[in-house]
Structure 1
Amino acid sequence: MVTLRKWTYSNSNELLYTAKLTNGLQVFLLPKKDFKESSCTLVSFFGSLDTKLTVSGRMKRYPEGAAHFLEHKLFEDEQGKDTALTFSKNGAYSNAFTTFDKTCFYFSTADFLEKNLQLLQTFTLSTSFTEQSIKKERDIILQEITMYQDDADYRLYQGILQNLYPKTPLASDIVGTKESLNQISVKNLKELHSIFYHPRNMALVAVGDFKPYRIFNSIQENQEHLPLKRQPLVFKSQLSYYPVIKTKSVTMNLSVPKLAVGYRGRKPAINPSLLHQKIALRLFFTMLFGLTSSTYQSWYEEGRIDDSFIIEVEMHPEFQFVLLTLDTKEPIAMSNKIRQKIKQFKQETDFSESHLGLVKRELYGEFLKSLDSPASLSDRFAAELPLQSLKENYLSIPDILNRLDLKTVMAIGENFLSGAQASDFTIFPK
C-alpha cells in the first residue's frame, strides 16, 4: 500500500503531501485552505534537450522541436478535437508549455477539480494523430517560429544561448526549425511518447482547497485504471561543451540596441543541492547588479540602463548559466562595464551583510507572494522539480535563505565565475 507522507514547512506555514505510486508517478499535493481556485500541473521530464538518446541499447537521434510538437499534438483527441475545449466545458482553463528539460500540462478551475484532474491524467497517455494532422500542425508551428523571429527579446535570448552552447540543443529554438519540423513523423512522435509519457517519467502537482487524502485516493484510482505500456530502457546523452562564441550581433527593426552578456559555468556539482546553488547565485548577482545595488543606481541615473535590465540564473544537472540583458544606447561600452564589474567583484562594497539581508527579504517576499496564487505556486513548484528532492523543494526556499550567509554566497559566486566563460550578443537597429 502506498503511503501519503506529510511535510510541514514552519517558515511559511505550508503543508506538502508526497507519494510515489506503484506505477512510478510522483504526486505532490499542496492544500490551500479557503482558496477558491485550484491548479494542477502534470509534468513529463521530456524537453528540447532530449534529442539524442540510447533506447534499449540503441543510439537514436530525434528532430529538434519534437518535444514541443508532441505537446501540441497530445491535445488532439481521437475525434480530432482540441482537449482544451473539454477542459473549458468542465469550467477550467488549460494550457501547456515545453522547456529545456520538461513538458508541463496544467489547468486552473474554481469547480470540478476531480473531474478535470482525471482528464489531465488521461489525455496525455494516448496518441491519435496521423500524418495529415501532423502536416497541419507543422504549418501552425512554422507560423509560430516566424512570429518568434520578429520578437527582439526572444532573438536576444536565443542568440546568447547559441553563443554559450554552440552545436547543442540549447542553441536551438525549443520549437525547432523549418528543417527539423520536416523530419518529424508519426513514427518518431509515437516512439518518444512511449519513452517519456510513462508514469515513471512523470509527476503530478495539485494546489488548492481540497482534502489531501480524498484527492490522493482519486489519483490512485485513476492511475490504476490507466493502460500501462512497458517503458523501454532509456539513457539521455550528456550535454557537450564546445568552445564559447565570444561575441556576435545581428540587426533588426528597433529603436534602441539590445545587449545580452552571458556567463556559462561548468557542469554544476551535486553538493550543495542545485536549488541551494541557484538561490545563492541569484543572491550574488542581485547584490552586484540588482535594483538595490550602487552599480544599478549609478548606471540608471547616468541613463546607461533602464527598467529593461534583467538578471537570469539557470541551473540544471547538465548546465548552469547567468544572463544579463538590457536595452542600451551604448552596448559595447556596457558589455565592457559589466565584465569589468564581475572581474573585480571582490572590491565591491555592495557585498555586505546588510545588503545580503535586503536582497534575501526581497526574494522571500517574492516567495510569499507566489503562495497567494494556486496557479503561480503550482507552476513554480513544478518548475523546480528537476532540481528538488522530497527533502528540499520550492517550499524549502525560506530555509535555504536562512542558511545562506555572506561567506557561502560569495564562495558559490566565486566558484561559478572561476570556471565561467563569457559571451555577448547584440541586436543593433537597422
Structure 2
Amino acid sequence: MTQLRKWTYTDSNEQLYTAKLTNGLQIFLIPKKGFKECSCTLVSYFGSLDTKFTVGGKKANYPEGIAHFLEHKLFEDDLGKDVALTFSNFGAYSNAFTTFDKTCFYFSTSSFLEENLRLLQKFVMSTSFTDMSIQKEKDIILQEMAMYQDDADYRLYQGILQNLYPHTALAADIVGTETSLKLISKKHLKEVHSFFYHPRNMALIVTGDFKPYSVFKQIQKNQERTAVSQPPIIFKAQLPYYPVKKTDSAAMNIAEPKLAVGYRGAKPKLPYSFLQQKIALKLFFAMLFGWTSSTYQNWYEEGHIDDSFIIEVEIHSEFQFVLLTLDTKEPIAMSNRIRKKMKQIRQEANFSETHLELVKSELYGEFFKSLDSPSALSEYFAAYLPLQSLKENYFELPNILNKLDLKTVLAVGEHFLAESQEADFTIFPK
C-alpha cells in the first residue's frame, strides 16, 4: 500500500508530504495552517517542445502548438460546456498554461476543496471533444495568436529565441502557427493525451490548510476510479543545435526600441543539479548586471537603461540560456556594452563576498514571500518539476543558497559563458 512520506525543512519551517501512487502519479502535499486559500496544480510533462518523439519503437511527429491546443480543449466537458464554469460553481478560480516542457492546470479556492480536487483530476485525465468543437477552438486560438503578435514584449522574447535556437521547437511559438494549427486533428489530440496524460507522466500539488492524510486518501480514491492502461514507452527527441543567428530585428508601433541580448549555453553537463546551476547563474548575473551592481547603477544614472531591464535564466535538460531585455533609445550601443561586459568578467569589481551575500538576500526574500501565498507556492513548486531526485525541490532553495560560495558561482558562470553563443534581437518603432 502506498504510504505518505513526510519531509521537514528547518530553513523555512515548511512541511512536505510526498507519495507515488501505484498508477505512477506523483503527489506533493504542502499544508499551510491558518490560510483560507487552497491551491492545486495538476502537471503533465508535455510541453511545446514535445512534437517529435519515439513511442512504442515508432517515430511520431505532431504539429507545433499541439500541447497548448490540448490544454484549451481539455476544459470542454462531455456536454460541450466550459469546465471553468463548473469550478466557479464550486467557488474556485481555474486556469492553465503551457511551457516548454509541461502543461499545468490549477485552481484556487477557499471552499469545496474536495469537490474541486475531484473535478481537476477528472477533466484533465479524460477527453470529450468533437471535430466541430476543435474547429471552433482553432478560430479562438487564431485570435489569440493575433493578440500575441501585437504584444511587443512577446515578439521580442520570441525573436531572440528564434535567433538562439533556429529551426527548432524552442524557436516556435508555444501556440503554434496558422499552418500548424490547421494540421491538428481529433486523432492527434487523443493520441498525445493517451501518451502524456498518463498518471505516470503527471504530478499533483496541493497547498493550503488541509489534513494531508485525508486529502491523500481522497486522491487515492479518485485515481482508483480512473481506468489506466499500460503506459507507452516514450523517448523524447533531443533538441538539435544549429548555428545561432547573430542578429535580427522587426518593426512595430512602439514609442521606444526594445532590445534582447541572449546567450545560448551548451546542454548542461556540470556536476551540479539543474536547480543548483540555475541558482548559481541567477546569482552570477545578478552580481554582474542586477540592480545592486555598479554596472546597473552607472547605466541607470547615465540614462542608458531604466526599470525595464530584466535578466532571465532558464535551465533544462536539453538547453540553458540567459536573456537580457530592455527598452532603450540606443539598442546597438547597449548590445555592444552588454557583450563587452561579458568578455571582461575577470576584471569585474562586482564579484565579491559582500555582493554575493546581498544578492543571496534578495533570492531569500523572494522565496519566503512565495510561502505566504498557496497559489504562488504551488506555481513555484511546479516550476521546478520534474525532479532529478525527490530530495531536490523548491524547498531546497535556502539550503542551496547557503552552500553556494563565490568560487562556485564564478565557476558556473564562467563555464556557461565559455561555451555559450550570443545573439541579439531588436524591435524598432515604425
Q: TM-score, normalization: structure 2? A: 0.99
The residue type paired with residue 393 of structure 2 is N
Matching of residue 153 in structure 1 with residue 153 in structure 2: yes
Alignment partner, residue 371 of structure 2: 371
Deviations, residues 274-296 of structure 1 (Å, cap 9, x unaligned) = 00000000000000000100000
In structure 2, runs of 5+ residues without a counterpart are none
1:372-411 matches, within 5 Å, as 372-411=372-411
Give, in whole Å, the separation in 2 of the partners of 1:395 and 1:157: 29
Displacement of 1:227 in angstroms is 1.6
Is the 1:62–1:188 Cα contact (8 Å) retained in structure 2?
yes
Given that 1:299 and 1:305 are in contact with CA atoms closer than 8 Å, whether structure 2 keeps it comes out as: yes
Given that 1:74 and 1:127 are in contact with CA atoms closer than 8 Å, whether structure 2 keeps it comes out as yes
In structure 2, what is the equivalent of residue 263 of structure 1? Answer: 263
Alignment of 1:258-337 (within 5 A): 258-269=258-269, 271-337=271-337
2:79 maps to 79
Separation (CA, whole Å) in 1 of partners of 2:208 and 2:255: 45
Aligned residue in 1 for 2:118: 118
Kindly state the Cα deviation for residue 325 of structure 1 after the two structures are TM-superposed: 0.1
Cα deviation 1:10-40 (Å, max 9, x = unaligned): 0000000100000000000000010010000
Which residue of 2 is the match for residue 164 of structure 1? 164
- Cα deviation, residue 61, structure 1: 0.4
What is aligned with 2:11?
A: 11
Residues 247-288 of structure 1: per-residue CA shift (max 9 Å, x gap):
001111111000000000000026311000000000000000
Match of 1:340 in 2: 340
Aligned to 2:225: 225
Residue 399 (structure 1) shift: 0.1
Aligned to 2:360: 360
The equivalent residue for 2:350 is 350
In structure 1, C-alpha distance between the alignment counterparts of 2:120 and 2:140, rounded to whole Å: 24
Residues 208-260 of structure 1 show CA distances to partners (whole Å, capped at 9, x for unaligned) of 01111111111111111112133222110000000000000111111100000
**Under a length normalisation based on structure 1, what TM-score does the superposition of the two structures give?**
0.99
Q: What is the identity percentage for the equivalent residue pairs of Structure 1 and Structure 2?
A: 73
Distance 1:104 1:208 in 2: 18
Bigger drift between 400-409 and 113-122 goes to 113-122
How big is the shift at 1:181? 0.1
Give, in angstroms, the shift of residue 131 of structure 1: 1.2
Q: What is the aligned partner in structure 2 of residue 49 from structure 1?
A: 49
Paired letter, 1:40? C
Superposed CA RMSD in Å reads 0.7
Query: Which position in structure 1 is the counterpart of 2:173?
Result: 173
Q: Secondary structure at the match of 1:245?
A: coil
Equivalent pairs counted in the alignment come to 430
Show the counterpart of 2:38. 38
Is 1:129 the equivalent of 2:116?
Answer: no
Structure 1 residue 388: deviation in Å? 4.6
Q: Deviations over 1:368-407 (max 9, x none)?
A: 0000000000000001112552111100000000000000
Deviations 1:144-173 (A, max 9, x none): 000000000000000000000000000000
**Contact preservation (8 Å) 1:40, 1:207:** yes
Q: Secondary structure at the match of 1:133?
A: helix
Contiguous gaps of at least 5 residues in structure 1: none
Tell me the distance in 2 between the aligned counterparts of 1:256 and 1:95: 33
Task: Give me the whole-angstrom Cα distance separating, in 2, the residues matched to 1:386 and 1:309.
Answer: 30
SS at match of 1:182: helix
Q: Is the counterpart of residue 198 in structure 1 residue 198 in structure 2?
A: yes
Match of 2:239 in 1: 239
Mean alpha-carbon deviation: is it higher for 328-337 or for 388-397?
A: 388-397
**Which whole-Å CA distance do the structure 1 matches of 2:28 and 2:232 have between them?**
25
Is 1:417 matched with 2:417? yes
After TM superposition, the structure 1 stretch with the greater mean CA deviation from structure 2, 25-34 or 227-236, is 227-236
- Choose 42-51 or 386-395, whichever is displaced more: 386-395
8 Å contact 1:46–1:102 — kept in the other structure? yes
- 4+ runs of 1 displaced by more than 6 Å? none
- The residue number in structure 2 matching 1:68 is 68
Q: What is the rounded CA distance, in whole Å, between the counterparts of 2:137 and 2:269 in structure 1? A: 40
Residue type at the aligned position of 2:423:
S
Task: Give the partner amino acid of 1:121.
Answer: Q
Q: Is contact 1:274–1:387 with CA below 8 Å preserved after alignment?
A: no
Task: Find the residue that maps to 2:72 and give its secondary structure.
Answer: helix
The one-letter code matched in structure 1 to 2:234 is: V
Output the CA distance in 2 between the equivalents of 1:225 and 1:309.
50
- Whole-angstrom CA distance in 2 between matches of 1:186 and 1:225: 25
